[in-house]
Every structure is written in C-alpha cells, then in structure tokens.
Structure 1
C-alpha cells in the first residue's frame, strides 16, 4: 500500500472501528476490551495484515501522551472523600509494594536464566530490569475494568485499587530508568539513587498539588467566550503539568494524577462538559495506545518466550504480588484476609509495562531488550486473560460484592453553584400504599419532584398527578439528610443521591 494521508486515515479509521466493535462484542463474554484492542493491533501488524511499525520511540511518545490523559481523567473521577480513608495503604502499595514485587520477581527471573530461550541469558541486573518494568499495576486496565464492570466492592476496595494503580506508575518508571542507567554505566551511587527516587516523588506530588490548584484558578477566571475551548485549555494544562514537572526533576506521571485529583474535587466551571470530554478522549487514547503497542510486537517472536513468560506471569499472580500486598498491608488491620487476597488478584498488567519495556529497546547497552519486550507483552496478555476476566467472579467468590449502585436515568446535573441534592427513585406498590398521587408522598420541605419517567415518556408532574409503580422520579432537595429519612419511611431503599461538593 502506498503511504499517503488518505491511506493512513483509512487504515486508522478501520482499526478504530474494529476496536470499538470487538470491544462491544467482548463485553458480552467478560473479555477486557483493552485485551481485544491489543489483539486488533497484533492482527493488523507485520505478521498479520502487513502494517509494518517498529518505532519504539514513537510508541513510547504515544504511550506517554495517552498515560497523561488516562491518569488525569482517573484522578478527576476519584473523590477525595473516598480515597482519604485508604490513602496510607494505597500509597504503601504504590511504593513499597512495587519495590517488593521488583525484587522478588527479579530474583525469580534470575533463577530461570538457564531456561531462557536460545542464546539469551539474563544477568541479575537485567532480571531486575524486567521485573521493574512489570512491577506496577496498570491504571488504564484497572480504571477501565473496575468502572466498566460497575460492581460495588466492600471494604473500600475500589478506591484502594484505583489509588494504587493511579500512583504506582512513578515508582516503576523510576526503577526502570535507574536500572537502565546502572546497566549502561556499570556502577551507581546508591545514596544518590535513593535520594533521586525520593526527590522525584516529593517534587512530583508537590507540583501536582500546586499546578492542580493553578489549573482550577485559571479555568474559573479566564472567562473564554467560547465554551468549546475549555476542554482544549484543560488538555494544554495537563501536558504542561507533565512536562514542567519533569523539568523540575519530579515525576510527571504522579503530578498529572494528583493534578487530576485536585481539579476533579474543586469547584470548576463547565465541569460536566469537561468530564464528558475527557472520558471520551481517554477511551480514544486507550484504543490508540493499545493498537500501537499491538502493532509494535511481532507475534511470531512470542512462541520463543512463551514458556518462561508463562512461568513469570504465574509467579507474579500467585507469589510475588500476593506476598508484596500482604507485607505492605501488615500495619493496616482494617483489611480482612479476603480483601487482601482480592487486592492481590487485581494486580493487572496492561499498557504501562509494555510502554516501559520500550525504554530498554532504545538502549544499545541492553542486548536482550527485544526479548524483555516480548516477555512483558506475553505476561500482559496472560494477566488480562486470567485476572482481567475474573475481576467480578473473584469478588463474588470472596463475598466482597457490596450493594450495587443505582444507575441514573435522567442524566442531568446541577451547576456547581447550586448545593441542592439531586436524587432519583423508582416507585413501588409499597411506596404508594398511602395514596397514588404525588401530594400523598411524604417528602420534606424545600423538596421538588421535577420530572417523572413512565416507560419511555417524560413529563412534569403536579400535586394531583397520579403515580404508578415503576415510575422513575427526579427529585431535588435542599436537605439531603431529611430526604434520606423520608425515603426510609416510604420503604425506598434503592435510590441515587448526588450533591455538589
């Protein structure tokens, strides 16, 4: 095929369309969409339909851009209120847990040196490098799978897992670069190395908070006449946070995630449209990132590393990840053994390890870089197949499924300036036992039923409107606590309640 703008756009459009199609199909069978995106990329690659792509720097650039957007969007969707109680265990898992996973897995890989394919032999440092690349849980995979499954988990497991996956990439990133530097130079000052690790974390966290508040201030005060430009402005701010933090010798990934947390939990003009934009943009870049990484791998090379990769994947799932989790969570007694087992199981690998595996590819001092990349790719596939498809089943087996969250039907939101609570309820025969007119419902003062959905019809009710079981009501109230008590008295246990922070 002749390379031209038209052909590139045609191939890109077909790949995106196929990715969405297989993602929808895979959801029916519980297969993670991200795994299928990888599969589409592999199928279209040099060993499939013949699209030749072997640029590790380009894949790394695309991955970096995608990770910035994914981490920022994940931070925006995370509530301070939810992560505050699990901040300490989440950070411990993201730092000590990653370090332990690297060391334990690294020694295991080194012990397998005699079984590696062909003439490849990994020394201790290369074994540690391979382990470091795979040591973090993947934010794209964890955010995507947990949120798409829509399951409610007990013991604050969801915010714990999302906090860990959103904040553990910096540790794995720094360990990867450190080990590459040691291999290239041949020696290292461990005091300086540890100081650099701490400095990157501290500067990254501080920059994330400071720049996050700066973003909120800018967006709330810049007063752009065209509302459509606000997402563009926010996107520019995200990339600035990453690049500027790196210039300060901090970790850009950590800064982006924390900046997202700050922005998502502060009063922001046009927040709803910004959140919707970033949700869609996040999915687009997840697809592009996984397609690119799928194109970068040569499937014909994977059978050569299948044996050792399978051993490493199983070891990480069964030994190194659980051991790291149980040790990291020793000081935190509130987590039950079942919760610790589940956290161990949801140690998903995904795009991040594959992106980190491109760094050795660009170093001439690491002769086994291609083999490291292939092992990481294979381990990622195993992780998504084994762990990604059983996230719900494992939670159910361990008895950690909580009360399912009600889905909102009306899909409306109040401006940030309005602090009233918005709620949705579904009427039952028990609710209407005291009368089937709206005026018969015992609701608190300063509460208004603004809309009723009956089957496919929507209408604004009046006091004498007759209600039926199955009607869905949109309620706005100035007193959410009193409204909850009214629901209890009416026998309503399933409802949604949203209030601007």
Structure 2
C-alpha cells in the first residue's frame, strides 16, 4: 500500500506540475510538450533517478494515448471548417507522406551512410505530423479556416499510413506486389469502420435517455476507442477509424455536446501530459548527446527539403498560393508520434533502433523549438493572419427530456452574433419549439414575442424531437445572416 500511495502521490504532483506548465508555456511562447518532456527527463534516471526502460510498455501506452488524442481531435474538429479542405488534407496525409519518406530516405542514405531499408525506416518515422502539436498550436495562430482545416485533417489522418509504412519496413518479409493493395484495404476499411461506428454511436446516443449527464461524454469517448479496437481486429487502420469516428460523432449534434467536448478535451490533455512525460522518462540523457549531429542532419533534410517538396507536389493540383505553401511546409509540426513510431522497430529488435529513438527524441525537441516557436511569426510575415472581427460560433447544446418526447436546447448568443437585436417574433422557430427562458445579466425571465435578443443572452428552448433539428438550423441561420436569413439563402446546415 505504501508503494501505491507513493506512486499515486508522485503521479498527482507530476500532473499538477504539468497543468501549471501549460500557463508557463503560454507566457514563454513555447509549446507545452517541451515542458512535459523536460519534466520526464527531470524525474528520470538523469534527474531524480527513476529508471524506466520498458520499450514495449512505453509503446503500448503511447498508442493508447494517441488513440485518445485522435479521438479528441476528431470530436473537436468542425466539419464546416474542414470540408473545403478535404481533398487537400487527404492528399497531404497520403501523397505528401510517400514523397517525404522517399526524399528523406534518399538524403539520409547519402548523408549518413544508412542502408536503404534503415534510411527509409527513418524517413517513415519522421514523416508523420503530430495531432497533439497541431491541434494545440495551430488553432491559436489566426490563419484561414482552409489552411487550419487542411493541416488538422493531415495530422489526424496521416498517422495511419505512416504507421503502416513503419510496420511494413520493420517486417522481415520483402515488400511485394500485394503491398499497395494491403495498404489501400487497411486505410479504406479503417475509414469505413470509423464512419459506421460513428453513425451508429450518434444514432444510439441521440435516442438514449441515460440517467446522468456525465455518462454521455464517457459513452462518446468509448465509441472512439471501440472503433480503434474494431479496426485492429479487422486488420484495418485502427488509428484512422478512431479519428473518423470522432469526426462523425463530433458533428452529429449529440446530447450534451458541450459537456462531451469538455470531457474529451480534458482526456486529450491528460493523454498528452502522460505521453510526453513518459517519453521524457524513457529517454536517457547520456545517449542523447551522441544523437545530436544525426538529429540536426535529419531535421535539416526534413525541414528544408522533404517537407517543402512533398507539400509542393501534393498541393499543385489545388492551386494553392505560394505563401500558403510556405506556411503549410513550416507547419509540419512533430511531437510524440514519431517517438512512439520509433519504438516499433525497437520492440521488434531491429538493429540500430535505440539510436533511432534517441535521434527522433532530439529532433522533436529541435523542430518544436524552431517551428512551434516561430509559426505565429511566419504566419504574420506571410500576411496570412486574419483579423479578429469574425464572430464566434454560436453555442448550442441539447439534452433529451426522457419520456416527454422533447429536448431542451441551450443557446448562448456570442459577441458579434446577428441574433443581437432580433425580436422573438422575428426568430420564427418551427412548430413544436418555443423559448421558455432567457438569462441576461445573471437574471432569468420569461420572454414575450416583443423581447429583443442581446449579445451574451442564454436561451432555453424546448422542442419536440421532430422539431429539434429544424430549430437548431433556424437558430444557426439567424446567427449567421440575421432576421432575413432565409432570403439570403442561409439554411444553417453547416
């Protein structure tokens, strides 16, 4: 019991220290993952002396954390923001990955004298952008939704093909003519599993009347984890299935959606903290120094050659402007994913795998400092930062009223919303829906048809099950286009 208490106490202190580190990282302008890695190094064998060298356990926990991070990324990604970037995101996560592996492998073969298989393995490990790094850094840069959507899709989708590439290069069997078919199957089946699990989960959660609000977020995240397991059992890409399931669920107007997203965000932070601290704990400071030179060489190849070339070849059909191409090239953020992928050859006994893990660890730190720390400056230098005049998206949450056959919809009118100044009579909600309460300045009152909505108002709308979707669409339409939304062609469907 004493050992358990000590372990729980240390874990709680590390978690609290990591939470405080988020605030510190914002003040310093550094990605928080560097501080988490630093905490892991501090309590590891080079610091407080905690020795942890179980590569297989680290890999398993790393993949589990990656599943939660991808689930959170899918749940919090708005389809309306990424649908215009779907083709670009898919191309970046497939074609760009292949180009990056080939270019990086060729360059490292020539510069570091690695054999071809090892050089391509290094290229595959280093070719995946990190979902946690992208989701946490990119959303605060202020560039267009098209660019953000493309990079979010890339980081959420490219883990799957890179994982497959690493496994194929680690395997003893030579790559044959059936390999491309196998890759297509794994990716296609993974996407299909994710879509099916997401659709079934959304339908079930909308119809279920669970006895506690907190059960909806738990069930939603469980669906994402179930998708990973189902994909893996079917020899498909479980990582892709996880992200697609999260994307479907997050855009399906789930009951208690805001609570679900908050829960998923908390789990995502917990997974990131645990993963980066664990990787820092696993690293050996004595070995990292010898990995510095090859890490700098690989980083230069990746940052100055492989990433720009892969982006250029991938986005050419989409006529992306050169400024946006430069930003896409500089935004290929690396994080924990390459380190987790490097553990696969280590656990399979591939010669030189420990050196690869050390090189990737150093490379992630270097590239995070170089890219993550300068990304906002690059965006401003390229003239891609948009003004802050856009209104925030209206907050809409719902909860089923069990046996009443109705739903309670909670709406918050954001600053800049065109709902401001609209009379309730002009809102024209569908039959079966009515606003029962408005909370304004911390005081609630029952509205009348002549009540005018204001910014920061919170509305409670009661709607029948049949009117629920039409009610939300109408509210979103007026939020975007005002009282004449229908005349302006705004339907509120996105």
- Please state which band the TM-score falls in when normalised by the shorter chain: 0.7 to 0.9
In the alignment, is residue 146 of structure 1 matched against residue 126 of structure 2?
Answer: no
Q: Which runs of 5+ in 2 are unaligned?
A: 401-406, 428-434, 460-470, 485-489
Q: What corresponds to 1:351 in structure 2?
A: 336
In the alignment, is residue 128 of structure 1 matched against residue 120 of structure 2?
Answer: yes
Note closer, same or farther for the CA distance 1:411–1:128 as it changes in structure 2 (3 Å cut): same
Tell me by how many angstroms 1:180 deviates.
0.3
Range with greater deviation from structure 2 (166-175 or 232-241): 232-241
Question: What is the CA–CA distance in structure 1 between the aligned matches of 2:262 and 2:392, rounded to whole Å?
Answer: 15
Question: What is the CA–CA distance in structure 2 between the aligned matches of 1:446 and 1:422, rounded to whole Å?
Answer: 18
Whether contact under 8 Å (1:140, 1:350) holds in the other structure is: yes
Under a length normalisation based on structure 2, what TM-score does the superposition of the two structures give? 0.84
| 1:381-415 residue CA offsets vs partner (Å, 9 max, x unmatched) | 11110101122111111111113276879977455
Range with greater deviation from structure 2 (215-224 or 307-316): 215-224
Tell me by how many angstroms 1:312 deviates.
1.0
In the alignment, is residue 137 of structure 1 matched against residue 129 of structure 2?
Answer: yes
Question: What is the CA–CA distance in structure 2 between the aligned matches of 1:210 and 1:462, rounded to whole Å?
Answer: 42
Higher relative contact order at CA 8 Å, sep ≥6: structure 1 or structure 2?
Answer: 1
Question: What is the CA–CA distance in structure 1 between the aligned matches of 2:389 and 2:29, rounded to whole Å?
Answer: 19
Whether contact under 8 Å (1:23, 1:37) holds in the other structure is: no
Question: What is the CA–CA distance in structure 2 between the aligned matches of 1:458 and 1:109, rounded to whole Å?
Answer: 66
Matches within 5 A, 1:30-179: 30-114=29-113, 122-147=114-139, 149=140, 151-154=141-144, 156-179=146-169
The secondary structure found in structure 2 opposite 1:331 is: helix
Tell me by how many angstroms 1:155 deviates.
6.3
| 1:286-319 residue CA offsets vs partner (Å, 9 max, x unmatched) | 1001111111111221111111211211221111
The secondary structure found in structure 1 opposite 2:415 is: strand
The secondary structure found in structure 1 opposite 2:316 is: coil
Question: What is the CA–CA distance in structure 2 between the aligned matches of 1:245 and 1:409, rounded to whole Å?
Answer: 34
Q: What corresponds to 1:243 in structure 2?
A: 229
Tell me by how many angstroms 1:230 deviates.
2.7
Among 290, 295, 307, the alignment partner of 1:309 is 295
Tell me by how many angstroms 1:40 deviates.
0.8
Q: What corresponds to 2:403 in structure 1?
A: none
Please tell me the root mean square deviation across aligned C-alpha atoms, in Å. Answer: 3.2
The secondary structure found in structure 1 opposite 2:177 is: helix
Question: What is the CA–CA distance in structure 2 between the aligned matches of 1:256 and 1:442, rounded to whole Å?
Answer: 41
Among 325, 331, 343, the alignment partner of 1:340 is 325
Whether contact under 8 Å (2:410, 2:458) holds in the other structure is: no
Whether contact under 8 Å (1:421, 1:498) holds in the other structure is: no
Among 253, 256, 261, the alignment partner of 1:275 is 261
Note closer, same or farther for the CA distance 1:167–1:412 as it changes in structure 2 (3 Å cut): closer
Whether contact under 8 Å (1:71, 1:256) holds in the other structure is: yes
Question: What is the CA–CA distance in structure 1 between the aligned matches of 2:264 and 2:476, rounded to whole Å?
Answer: 29
Question: What is the CA–CA distance in structure 2 between the aligned matches of 1:485 and 1:444, rounded to whole Å?
Answer: 16
Note closer, same or farther for the CA distance 1:500–1:49 as it changes in structure 2 (3 Å cut): farther
In the alignment, is residue 204 of structure 1 matched against residue 190 of structure 2?
Answer: yes
Among 344, 352, 361, the alignment partner of 2:346 is 361
Tell me by how many angstroms 1:480 deviates.
5.4
Question: What is the CA–CA distance in structure 2 between the aligned matches of 1:479 and 1:209, rounded to whole Å?
Answer: 28
Whether contact under 8 Å (2:390, 2:416) holds in the other structure is: no
Note closer, same or farther for the CA distance 1:272–1:382 as it changes in structure 2 (3 Å cut): same
Q: What corresponds to 2:27 in structure 1?
A: 28
Question: What is the CA–CA distance in structure 2 between the aligned matches of 1:82 and 1:410, rounded to whole Å?
Answer: 14
Question: What is the CA–CA distance in structure 1 between the aligned matches of 2:346 and 2:221, rounded to whole Å?
Answer: 29
Question: What is the CA–CA distance in structure 2 between the aligned matches of 1:483 and 1:292, rounded to whole Å?
Answer: 45
Tell me by how many angstroms 1:93 deviates.
0.6
The secondary structure found in structure 2 opposite 1:191 is: coil
Whether contact under 8 Å (2:256, 2:397) holds in the other structure is: no
Question: What is the CA–CA distance in structure 2 between the aligned matches of 1:458 and 1:315, rounded to whole Å?
Answer: 60
Question: What is the CA–CA distance in structure 2 between the aligned matches of 1:420 and 1:41, rounded to whole Å?
Answer: 42
Q: Which runs of 5+ in 1 are unaligned?
A: 115-121, 432-437, 489-496
Question: What is the CA–CA distance in structure 2 between the aligned matches of 1:446 and 1:414, rounded to whole Å?
Answer: 22
Tell me by how many angstroms 1:232 deviates.
2.9
Question: What is the CA–CA distance in structure 2 between the aligned matches of 1:178 and 1:306, rounded to whole Å?
Answer: 27
Whether contact under 8 Å (2:112, 2:294) holds in the other structure is: no
